[in-house]
């Protein structure tokens, strides 16, 4: 399966490590530091020209990691990803 992140960017769902909300996850210094290091290493791909709402961490078979920033919300990405068990756990009270 594939997940459309915006524009012309599509990733394999099996390569996705996590889908994170930028507003809540960057409260942590660890996350901010990780994103800064990934940016310096050239491993961040900005999918949108708009303000990003989420970032998607992907790891390929060869171990290469890529961070995609997207204007699409985490809830929408999870619905698109066909992970219904995950979505129901997140959205149900």
pLDDT single digits (tens) 35-92: 999 999 999 999 988 999 999 999 988 989 999 999 999 989 988 876 555 444 444 4
Q: Please give the residue range of the domain that contains residue 58.
A: 2-81
What SS3 string covers the chain? Answer: CEEEEECCEEEEHHHEEEEEEHHHHCCCHHHHHHHHHHHHCCCEEECCCCCCCEEEEEECCCCCEEEEEECCCHHHHHHHCCCHHHHHHHHCC
Please state the pTM of the whole predicted model.
Answer: 0.83
**Does residue 92 lie within any of the structural domains?**
no
How many structural domains compose the chain?
1
**Does residue 66 lie within any of the structural domains?**
yes
**pLDDT at 81 (0 to 100):** 79
**Does residue 61 lie within any of the structural domains?**
yes
**pLDDT at 84 (0 to 100):** 55
**Does residue 19 lie within any of the structural domains?**
yes
**Does residue 45 lie within any of the structural domains?**
yes
**Does residue 86 lie within any of the structural domains?**
no
pLDDT value at 29 more than 50: yes
């Amino acid at each position: 399966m594939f997940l459309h992140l915006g524009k012309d960017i599509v990733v394999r769902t099996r390569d996705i490590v996590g889908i994170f909300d930028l507003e809540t996850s960057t409260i942590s210094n660890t996350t901010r530091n990780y994103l800064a290091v990934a940016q310096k290493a050239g491993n961040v791909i900005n999918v949108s020209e708009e303000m990003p709402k989420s970032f998607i961490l992907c790891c390929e078979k060869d171990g290469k990691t890529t961070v995609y920033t997207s204007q699409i919300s985490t809830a929408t990405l999870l619905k698109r990803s066909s992970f219904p068990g995950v979505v129901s756990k997140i959205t149900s009270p």
